C-alpha cells in the first residue's frame, strides 16, 4: 500500500532492558508493507545497550524518533511521553521484546477505514521455547459495541494495549496511570467506554514473546499487585452499572487478593509510595469489616488478617513467594 495521501500511523515502543530483542522489534516495524509511519522509541533509562541500538536505527530511518529518559520513569510515563508527541491519525503499541507481522499496519488501517471503526482488535501468537502458537477470541464478544464493552469489563477480551489498532482521538483525554504496573488493565475499560465501534480482525498479527525474563509480566512485584488491585477496584462500579452484582463481588475478591499480596511483597521489596500503601490498607480495612464481604477462602482470610494486624506474617508470605519464584526460574 502506497502512503501518498494516506493517513500517518504512529507506532509507540517503550524500551527497557531489551538489547537482545529490540533490533528484531524495530525491523519488524520498519518492514511494514504500509510505510507511512511515525515510529517513537522511548528509552526508559535502560541500563543495557538498548538506547544505543535505538539511536543506530534512527540514524538511517527518518521515521524514527528516539526519546531518552535520564532516569527510569516506568512504562506508563514512557507511553504517555510518546502519546504527547504522536502525530498519526491512528496509533498502535508494540512492546520492545515482541515483534509484528509485516502486514499488521496495512491490514488494520484498511479495516479501520473500510469498516469505519474506532478500534480494530487482532489476534496474537505466543512465542515460547521456539514454538509459535496462535491465539484467537470468541467472535460473540464483538457483535456490537455494548457486547465488546461488557466483555472488557468481564476480562473476556484482553485488556493489553498492544493487540489493538486505535483512532488517535480516543487518546486525546486519556493517559496511563503512572507509578504503577499493569496499567493496561486500568485504561482499557475507560477507553472502551468511549468507543463507538469496533471490529475483530481474525488474523494473528502480533508475536508476544514469553522468553524475556525482564518482562514486567514475568516478575512478582508490589507494583504489579498494586496495578491489578487498582484495576479490580475501578471495575467494580462499571460492573454495577451493567447490572452485574456477581461480577462486582468477584472483583471485590480479586481486589482483596491482590491487595494482601501487594502489602506482603512491598514489605520485602518496597516499590510503592506510602500513599499507595494507605490506599490498599484502607480498602482492606473496609472489606475486613464489611458484612457482605465476598467469600475469599481460608488462605486469603489469613493474609488479610496478616496485612492489617501482623505484618511479620505478611512479610514472611512475601519472602516465601519471592523464594519460590527464584526456584522456578532456577529450574526452568
pLDDT at 302 > cutoff 80: yes
pLDDT tens digit sequence for 146-169: 899 888 888 888 889 999 999 999
- The span from the CA of 208 to the CA of 175, in Å, is 23
CA triplet 146, 148, 152: central angle to 5 degrees?
Answer: 115
Q: What is the pLDDT of residue 5?
A: 67
Sequence-separated contacts (24+) of 125-128 with Cβ below 8 Å: 125/204, 125/206, 125/207, 125/208, 126/208, 126/210, 127/98, 127/207, 127/208, 127/209, 127/210, 127/211, 128/210, 128/211
**Average pLDDT for 8-22:** 96
pLDDT tens digit sequence for 237-248: 988 988 889 889
Q: What is the pLDDT of residue 111?
A: 97
pLDDT-derived band at 332, boundaries 50, 70, 90:
low
- The span from the CA of 328 to the CA of 322, in Å, is 10
pLDDT tens digit sequence for 44-67: 999 999 999 999 999 999 999 999
Least confident of 57-66, 82-91, 135-144: 135-144
pLDDT tens digit sequence for 202-244: 999 999 998 776 655 546 789 889 988 998 998 899 889 888 8
Strands 164-167 and 90-93 come out as antiparallel
pLDDT at 330 > cutoff 80: no
Q: Which has the higher per-residue pLDDT, 287 or 331? A: 287
The domains found in the chain, sorted by start residue, are 9-213 (3.90.550.10), 220-326 (no CATH)
pLDDT at 261 > cutoff 90: yes
- Percent of the residues in the chain that have a pLDDT greater than 90, as a whole number: 73
Taking the CA of residue 7 as centre, how many other CA atoms within 13 Å lie in the half-sphere pointing to its CB? 18
Amino acid at each position: 500500500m502506497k502512503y501518498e495521501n494516506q493517513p500517518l500511523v504512529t507506532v509507540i515502543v517503550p524500551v527497557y532492558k531489551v538489547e537482545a530483542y529490540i533490533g528484531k522489534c524495530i525491523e519488524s516495524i520498519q518492514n511494514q508493507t504500509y510505510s507511512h509511519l511515525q515510529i517513537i522509541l522511548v528509552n526508559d533509562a535502560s541500563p543495557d545497550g538498548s538506547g544505543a541500538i535505538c539511536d543506530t536505527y534512527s540514524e538511517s530511518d527518518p521515521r524514527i524518533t528516539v526519546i531518552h529518559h535520564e532516569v527510569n520513569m516506568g512504562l506508563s510515563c514512557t507511553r504517555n511521553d510518546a502519546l504527547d508527541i504522536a502525530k498519526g491519525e491512528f496509533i498502535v503499541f508494540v512492546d520492545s521484546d515482541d515483534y509484528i507481522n509485516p502486514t499488521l499496519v496495512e491490514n488494520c488501517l484498511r479495516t479501520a477505514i473500510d469498516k469505519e471503526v474506532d478500534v480494530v482488535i487482532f489476534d496474537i501468537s505466543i512465542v515460547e521455547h521456539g514454538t509459535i502458537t496462535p491465539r484467537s477470541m470468541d467472535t460473540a464478544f464483538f457483535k456490537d459495541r455494548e457486547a465488546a464493552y461488557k466483555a472488557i469489563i468481564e476480562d473476556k477480551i484482553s485488556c493489553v494495549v498492544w493487540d489493538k489498532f486505535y483512532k488517535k482521538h480516543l487518546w486525546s483525554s486519556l493517559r496511563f496511570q503512572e507509578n504503577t504496573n499493569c496499567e493496561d488493565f486500568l485504561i482499557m475499560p475507560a477507553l472502551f467506554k468511549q468507543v463507538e465501534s469496533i471490529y475483530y480482525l481474525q488474523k494473528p498479527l502480533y508475536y508476544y514473546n514469553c522468553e524475556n525474563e525482564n518482562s514486567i509480566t514475568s516478575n512478582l512485584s508490589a507494583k504489579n499487585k498494586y496495578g491489578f488491585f487498582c484495576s479490580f477496584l475501578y471495575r467494580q462500579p462499571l460492573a454495577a452499572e451493567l447490572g452485574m452484582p456477581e461480577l462486582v463481588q468477584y472483583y471485590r475478591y480479586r481486589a482483596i487478593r491482590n491487595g494482601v499480596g501487594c502489602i506482603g511483597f512491598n514489605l520485602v521489596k518496597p516499590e510503592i509510595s506510602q500513599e499507595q500503601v494507605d490506599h490498599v490498607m484502607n480498602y482492606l480495612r473496609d472489606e475486613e469489616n464489611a458484612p457482605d464481604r465476598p467469600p475469599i477462602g481460608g488462605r486469603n482470610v489469613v493474609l488479610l488478617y496478616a496485612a492489617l494486624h501482623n505484618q511479620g506474617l505478611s512479610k514472611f508470605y512475601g519472602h516465601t513467594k519471592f523464594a519460590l519464584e527464584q526456584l522456578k526460574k532456577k529450574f526452568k
